[in-house]
Amino acid sequence: MIEAAPSLHQSENHIIDAEYYWVKKGRLTWTDLTQLVDEPETLWSNGDSTQSGMNDRVRLALAMEMTSSLVLIQPASLSIQVQTEGSAFGNPRRRVRGYFKYRGINYLMVVTDPVAERAFLAKPDNRYHVDDAYLCVSLAGAHTDGYCYKLIAAVIMKDLL
């Protein structure tokens, strides 16, 4: 990496040196992950939801006061929902969302993890319970509508390690 490049609430951002390739140095065990879990009181602010989500966005003004945008959590429960959204608005797109509970709060967020998304889009529309998983949750950059959206950037399942 060349240097840190924080932007608003995304303090973790770095500029990656294109002259170098990433090299895989090892593999974490399932037990190793427990040592890396973050334990924030809440996933940023709650109470603001999209049409198809739940607690899945933050007003930009609030996000600008935050100091991080990435956490690794172990939710109390997780199910992956695959369904066609937006049909009523002329955009019938199949989406993958994660429905989970963290510290007593329910969330429903878009999954952007390409491996998990591809695996679940190969299945019929339904809700799939996932035993024992970790989630990397991200607060994305500012959108033109004045919100920052919460996303599931990675779904880490035991059977995929």
* Of residues 45 and 16, more confidently modeled: 45
- What is the reported pLDDT for 133? 94
pTM: 0.84
Q: What is the mean pLDDT of the segment spanning 106-127?
A: 95
* Of residues 101 and 60, more confidently modeled: 101
Distances (CA, A) of 96 to 32, 58, 66, 109, 153: 27, 20, 27, 9, 12
Tell me which of 8-17, 51-60, 100-109, 119-128 is least confident. 8-17
What burial class does residue 110 get, using C-beta atoms within 10 Å of its C-beta: 0-12 exposed, 13-18 middle, 19+ buried? buried
Length of the chain: 161
CA distance 54 to 60: 17
Mean pLDDT (the chain) is 87
- What is the reported pLDDT for 6? 58
